[in-house]
Amino acid sequence: MKTTSAELKRRAKAKLKGRYGSCVGAELVATAIVVGFIIMFFFILFFIAAASDMFYYSFNQSDIGTVITVTLFFVIYILFLVVMALMGPGLLRFYYNLAVEKNPEISNLLFGVKNVPLKFLALYGIQLIVGLVCAIPYIVVMIAGVITDFIPIMVVLLVLMYILMLAGVLVINIYMSQSMFILLESTDKGVIQSIMESVQMMKGSKGRLFYLYLSFTGMIILGYCSAYIGFLWIFPYMRTTLTEFYLDLKAQQAKKVVEQLADPSFESMWNQEKRQ
């Protein structure tokens, strides 16, 4: 029998009991690192551009000013993605250690930086590319809508393409959801291997994870209503619950292997293959 969402949440609450302070601290430190890096890089790029007297060109007066401004925002955005990609594994490591009864430490937040950062960047990059591919129909219809001045049929198509994009991103996210945990546990594995193992793990459990995502909707709304402050407590609960989901999938897989090995027909087939 598969573990229910309620049971996974109960386990998460038990692991978080008495440790919410360190979890909130980890969330604050992770947020401060991301925001700090972005601010630092923004000011560095700003002063470099200002020193060359190019940043002050208006869009209407100089193409160079436009190019530099757009380039600055592009570089900042890329740096933001890189920092996010490397902080994500660190946060997961923190909550993974919490879930497996190890002592989570703030230093865990640098796990992605210290351990195969290129693999974590590649995995994050693949997820972004897949999301962009899912968005292509929506972007095409959006452009067509602008050209046609959003006639009614284009508005309907735009809404449909948006829903299709969200559905595609959600389905792919569910299939790839365990790849980061897999790479986190075994950094010697390849990025594609971790994705394929995630797809294998999610067989028969996609609906469970989707329901688990939906069950957090109310808490997420409360987080927004609290001016994001509530997320300092909501995110630890969500991350720990999702970690428990991964550990539960692993336990199920191990159980299946044991059952297969104990199956007489499996043993007979194995012996036959060995003889051949």
Over residues 196-211, the pLDDT tens digits come to 999 999 998 999 999 9
Query: Per residue in 6-33, pLDDT tens?
Result: 999 999 999 999 888 899 999 999 888 8
Can you give the residue ranges of every domain in the chain?
23-105, 116-204, 216-262
pLDDT number for residue 183: 93
Query: Per residue in 30-54, pLDDT tens?
Result: 888 888 877 877 777 677 666 555 5
Report helix angle 5-16 to 63-99, nearest 10: 90
pTM value?
A: 0.83
- The residue ranking higher by pLDDT, 78 or 12, is 12
Return the SS3 of 149.
coil
204 dihedral zone (left: phi>0; alpha: psi -120 to 50; beta): left
C-alpha span between 170 and 203 (Å, rounded) = 15
pLDDT number for residue 200: 92
